[in-house]
């Protein structure tokens, strides 16, 4: 079911690149896995004990699934309509077959989706929602009480909102009841309604003729007008519209800047450090994002044409984060990706276009390598944290070292290409960045290449990474930058050995 990665694609990715076919292969595979994940939610709900998922909740899931299925069958706006399908048909709960998975028969859908349903189903933050559902449904039989029960009820209610948004985008008239979460009804990619009452309250939704009417007790109706592709506007103060940045290139669609989705918060754990708090943007923050974004395409292109191409192929939404207090000012920023949210990138407000471009380069390598790892077993190393990485003070597991080295290799290439472009005002700074990243990669590569846990294809991959690192010597940075970068790595290794060397088995030290 899942595709085989050709050798040429493996080598392209090892160089932190990837042609159109290679990137499309990763995207198609991730979209297939998303469809399977969505189906797994329905199957887990059906199999759950009634004490975990009630009969009424299961019935509502089937109804929502049926609405998704109908929306997925609708022809695209520019497609020839199926004469057997009446686009104006009002969907009713009694005439839908709720068992079909949307798109299950055509999992290898292109990245430019055949209809609006696909774009919404493959929105990155649908992944964290589905994972949260599965965790809740996998609970031991017993009353779903307390925080766990509340979270599962909210997760299942959010599926109804997803189905409503997909149906509205497909032009299907419907009437349904949704549930706001803590006074907010989030409609992914459209916006959010702030209810008159706090808590988890019902909201009746009617969709017809490109409009949603949101009705709640003790408050005026709110009429929301759907926009083409994504977004919706309303004159009501209770409605907050979803925001998007202009397409990265003139031919690209707008990119969601999602500060409303309830599943945008990073999960707890050491992987993301203190990156926890999603940021609700005000006008000033949105302007800062727009200002940085306006020059990002040019900054990406200056670091290599493939950087702009991979951003266009892989990036599906940006999620604003609050800047942690330890980041500082100037060109400081913080960012993250989530394996379960393919195509999503979380970032604090970028100070300028070059910083945002570098953030995209760095984080999209994590997305590429994670997607490749779903298709190819590169190594069989265990989770023990024992390896020195110059960019971290703590020991890293082999897979963490591979991820970090891969993204740093791309950063070294990005800044080298920028430094080789004549006339850039920050050329010297680009050389310094290149020298630092290349020195860090050079310190980490011996452990990667020398590991006995590499598979045959994994060895081909890291050997090509090493060759890419070596080829950078054809255009060296100025000696002063190289010396400072190497001195930094030596100091970082000495400090790491003082803290961890005596307690850990030999690694790449």
Structure token digits, residue 201: 């309250």
Structure token digits, residue 485: 């970068």
pLDDT at residue 273 in the model: 52
Residue 178: closest CA among 200, 161, 153 = 161
Over its C-alpha atoms, the chain yields an Rg (Å, rounded) of 24
What is the Cα–Cα distance from 424 to 410, expressed in whole angstroms?
A: 20
CA distances from 361 to 16, 36, 388 (A): 10, 28, 23
Segment among 68-72, 153-157, 276-280, 480-484 with least mean pLDDT: 276-280
pLDDT at residue 30 in the model: 97
Average pLDDT over residues 28-54: 95
What is the residue-wise DSSP string for 286-309?
HHHHHHHHHTHHHHHHHT-HHHHH
What is the Cα–Cα distance from 447 to 401, expressed in whole angstroms?
A: 9
- CB atoms inside a 10 Å sphere around CB 132: 20
Segment among 145-149, 279-283, 470-474 with least mean pLDDT: 145-149
pLDDT at residue 119 in the model: 82
Whether the pLDDT of residue 107 is over 70: the answer is: no
pLDDT at residue 74 in the model: 80
Contact 400, 460 (CB under 8 A): no
Whether the pLDDT of residue 191 is over 60: the answer is: yes
What is the Cα–Cα distance from 168 to 70, expressed in whole angstroms?
A: 11
Phi and psi at 182, nearest 5°, equal 50, 40
Give 60's strand partners.
none
pLDDT digits (tens, 9 = 90+) for 290-310: 999 999 999 999 999 999 999
pLDDT at residue 37 in the model: 96
Whether the pLDDT of residue 115 is over 70: the answer is: no
- Greater confidence (2 vs 399) lies with 399
Contact 149, 157 (CB under 8 A): no
Average pLDDT over residues 201-223: 96
pLDDT at residue 422 in the model: 83
pLDDT at residue 505 in the model: 55
- Sheet with 191-194: list strands edge to edge: 184-187, 191-194, 239-241
pLDDT at residue 329 in the model: 55
Average pLDDT over residues 422-439: 95
What is the Cα–Cα distance from 155 to 136, expressed in whole angstroms?
A: 9
Confidence of residue 327 (pLDDT cuts 50, 70, 90): low
pLDDT digits (tens, 9 = 90+) for 328-359: 555 667 899 999 999 999 999 999 999 999 99
Whether the pLDDT of residue 177 is over 70: the answer is: yes
pLDDT at residue 91 in the model: 39
What is the Cα–Cα distance from 307 to 335, expressed in whole angstroms?
A: 17
Alpha helices by DSSP H, listed for 331-397, are: 353-375
Contact 466, 449 (CB under 8 A): yes
Segment among 264-268, 355-359, 360-364, 453-457 with least mean pLDDT: 264-268
What is the Cα–Cα distance from 463 to 445, expressed in whole angstroms?
A: 9
Whether the pLDDT of residue 156 is over 70: the answer is: yes
Residue 335: closest CA among 266, 258, 425, 418 = 266
- Greater confidence (117 vs 82) lies with 117
Average pLDDT over residues 241-256: 94
What's the sign of the alpha-carbon dihedral 161, 166, 168, 173? negative
CA distances from 333 to 118, 123, 293, 317, 476 (A): 32, 24, 14, 18, 27
pLDDT at residue 275 in the model: 55
pLDDT at residue 79 in the model: 43
pLDDT digits (tens, 9 = 90+) for 43-95: 999 999 998 999 999 999 999 999 999 998 887 554 443 433 333 333 333 33
pLDDT at residue 265 in the model: 86
Whether the pLDDT of residue 412 is over 90: the answer is: yes
pLDDT at residue 8 in the model: 98
Phi and psi at 324, nearest 5°, equal -60, 150
- Find the angle CA(345)-CA(349)-CA(355) to the nearest 5 degrees: 80
Alpha helices by DSSP H, listed for 454-478, are: 456-471
pLDDT at residue 92 in the model: 37
Contact 369, 16 (CB under 8 A): no
């Amino acid at each position: 079911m899942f595709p085989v990665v050709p050798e040429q694609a493996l080598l392209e990715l090892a160089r932190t690149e990837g042609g159109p076919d290679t990137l499309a292969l990763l995207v198609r595979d991730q979209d297939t896995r998303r469809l399977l994940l969505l189906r797994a939610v329905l199957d887990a709900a059906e199999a759950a004990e009634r004490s975990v998922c009630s009969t009424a909740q299961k019935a509502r899931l089937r109804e929502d699934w049926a609405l998704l299925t109908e929306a997925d069958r609708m022809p695209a706006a520019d497609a020839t309509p199926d004469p057997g399908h009446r686009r104006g048909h009002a969907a009713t709960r009694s005439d839908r077959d709720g068992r079909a998975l949307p798109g299950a028969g055509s999992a290898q859908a292109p990245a430019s989706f055949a209809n609006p349903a696909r774009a919404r189903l493959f929105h990155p933050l649908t992944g964290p929602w589905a994972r949260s559902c599965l965790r809740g449904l996998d609970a031991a039989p017993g009353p779903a009480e307390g925080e766990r029960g509340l979270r599962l009820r909210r997760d299942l209610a959010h599926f109804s909102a997803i189905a409503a948004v997909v149906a509205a985008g497909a032009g299907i008239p419907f009437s349904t009841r949704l549930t706001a979460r803590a006074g907010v009804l989030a409609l992914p990619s459209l916006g959010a309604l702030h209810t008159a009452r706090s808590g988890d309250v019902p909201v009746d939704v009617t969709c017809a003729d490109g409009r949603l009417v949101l009705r709640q007790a003790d408050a005026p109706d709110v009429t929301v007008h759907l926009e083409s592709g994504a977004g919706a506007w309303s004159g009501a103060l209770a409605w907050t519209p979803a925001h998007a940045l202009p397409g990265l290139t003139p031919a690209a669609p707008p990119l969601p800047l999602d500060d409303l989705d309830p599943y945008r918060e990073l999960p707890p754990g050491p992987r993301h450090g203190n990156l926890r708090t999603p940021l609700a943007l005000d006008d000033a923050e949105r302007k800062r994002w727009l200002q940085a974004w306006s020059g990002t395409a040019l900054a990406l292109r200056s670091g290599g044409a493939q950087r702009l191409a991979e951003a266009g192929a892989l990036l599906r939404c940006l999620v604003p984060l609050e800047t942690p207090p330890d980041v500082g000012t100037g060109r400081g920023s913080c960012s993250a990706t989530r394996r379960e949210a393919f195509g999503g990138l979380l970032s604090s407000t970028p100070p300028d276009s070059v910083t945002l471009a570098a953030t995209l380069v760095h984080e999209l390598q994590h997305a590429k390598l994670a997607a490749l790892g779903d298709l190819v077993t590169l190594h069989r190393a265990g989770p023990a944290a024992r390896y020195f990485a110059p960019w971290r003070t703590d020991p890293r597991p082999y897979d963490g070292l591979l991820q970090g080295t891969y993204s740093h290799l791309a950063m070294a290439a990005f800044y080298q290409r920028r430094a080789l472009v004549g006339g850039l005002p920050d050329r010297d700074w680009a050389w310094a960045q290149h020298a630092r990243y290349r020195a860090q990669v050079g310190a980490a590569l011996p452990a990667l290449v020398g590991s006995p846990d590499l598979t045959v294809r994994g060895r081909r991959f890291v050997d090509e990474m090493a060759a890419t690192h070596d080829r950078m010597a054809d255009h060296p940075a100025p000696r002063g930058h190289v010396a400072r970068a190497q001195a930094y790595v030596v100091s970082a290794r000495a400090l790491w050995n003082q803290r961890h060397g005596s307690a850990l088995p030999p690694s790449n030290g």
